[in-house]
Amino acid sequence: MIDIKFLRENPEVVKENIRKKFQDYKLVLVDEVLELDHKNREVKLKGDELRSKRNALSSEIGVFMKQGKKEEAESFKKQVQEINKQLVENEKLEEEYSSQIQERMLKIPNLIADSVPIGKDDSQNVEIEKFGKPFVPNYEIPYHTDIMESFSGIDLDSARRVAGNGFYYLMGNIARLHSAVISYARDFMIAKGFTYCIPPYMIRSSVVTGVMSFEEMDAMMYKIEGEDLYLIGTSEHSMIGKFKDQILPKEELPYCMTSYSPCFRKEKGAHGIEERGVYRIHQFEKQEMIVVCNPEDSWNWYDKLWSYTVELFRNMEIPVRTLECCSGDLADLKSKSCDIEAWSPRQQKYFEVGSCSNLTDAQARRLGIRIKGEKGNYYAHTLNNTVVAPPRMLIAFLENHYQEDGSIFIPEVLRPYMGGLNKLVPNPK
């Protein structure tokens, strides 16, 4: 959510930002906010005037009572009672206007960074840099679920019977590999100075609307029936929510945290053949990182965060690239975002395995996360980034380490988490 003072003083800048995101249907929101804001300020001014008049009359009542002028005192009391009635109506208007302003402000997208490329959708995202050399072996690489099945490592049929499409059973060495990646990612981030955390897996609606747009909430979140609770789509939600309505001491910043959680997503819509298997699912596990920091430090942290994910994947000997998200591909709260994509030698293309975002003060305004400064309190900046999200990450791992004999090479950094194994051997046929 942007600053209403900024919108009031720069309405055309806000409108141009909306156009850059190809959301012209939201342009009317700016004018509606300005009109409602004008009415709200008038109502507040009237309220101040009424309260001032009431205070003056109340003082006079005391004087009259001391002088024994009961008739005059009663006359002023009636005027005070009338003012109180007007104040009740006035406060209702204030509440109504404030609610309507808030509703519209939550739909107006955050200001995008100047460096964000302008484009309508993800087809216009821009490659930034490649890390590691993509390769295609001279032997066929099976589809990832076929690789997993060769190790008796996945059971989709049973999962469908138990929970429906979009769920899975991971078993044996494939499940162990999944956990090894998560454990390595945890220790990798702790070594970077991040505090490890296991957060709540459910959050209240006030946190949901603080961390994401209404459109994202509808497309992603599962609501618990009869409760003001939602299953998290990523641990970033509850991690940022941890700081809701807090005033943070400046000297304690930045807060750098890495969290493990399961994640639950509706994943609405139809997907292509390459998104079957465990690419796009309703439940998965994830290691996340978040930073809450001073505004002047957030862009430096943004570059650090995405570089950590690149480093992690390169340590596991997986080629990756970074991709700058264009304006139309940015979620409303994001000022700038880049995707980390892993190389798929089977498909001979990259696919997304993580995303890094700077939300500047958009989440902080919604959630009331402020910093105690020497000259007053101000809003923090928040950032988030995927460390690793298996089982999607397993697709990249299995394809890049698949050997001609069907075995899977285990990079050195993962061997301590795999009991010292340097390769996985498929089950005999």
Q: Which domains does the chain have, with CATH numbers?
A: 4-105 (1.10.287.40), 122-424 (3.30.930.10)
Using DSSP, state whether 224 is helix, strand or coil: coil
Using DSSP, state whether 38 is helix, strand or coil: helix
> Residue 51: is it exposed, middle or buried by C-beta count within 10 angstroms (0-12/13-18/19+)?
middle
Q: Are the beta carbons of 266 and 297 closer than 8 angstroms?
A: no
Distance CA 178, CA 194 (A): 22
What pLDDT does 276 receive? 65
Closest by Cα among 414, 427, 429, 428 to 152: 427
Distance CA 259, CA 298 (A): 20
In this prediction, the residues of the chain whose per-residue pLDDT falls under 70 are 268-276
Alpha helices in 221-278 (DSSP H): 235-241
What pLDDT does 277 receive? 82
Residue type, 219: A
Distance CA 177, CA 367 (A): 37
What pLDDT does 399 receive? 97
What pLDDT does 426 receive? 94
Distance CA 312, CA 33 (A): 45
Using DSSP, state whether 195 is helix, strand or coil: strand
What pLDDT does 275 receive? 55
Using DSSP, state whether 364 is helix, strand or coil: helix
Q: Which residues of 95-120 are buried (b: 16+ CB within 10 A; e: fewer)?
A: eebeebbeebbbebbbbbbeebeebe
pTM tops 0.75: yes
Residue type, 6: F
Using DSSP, state whether 37 is helix, strand or coil: helix
Closest by Cα among 108, 112, 113 to 1: 108
Alpha carbon separation from 13 to 18, 113, 325 (Å, rounded) = 9, 13, 21
Count of H helices and E strands in the chain?
13, 18
Taking the CA atoms of 133, 139, 140 and 142 in sequence, report the sign of the dihedral they define: negative
What pLDDT does 359 receive? 97
Q: Which DSSP helix (H) or strand (E) runs through 324?
A: strand 320-324
The structure tokens listed for 309 are 């994910």
Distance CA 21, CA 1 (A): 15
What pLDDT does 271 receive? 52
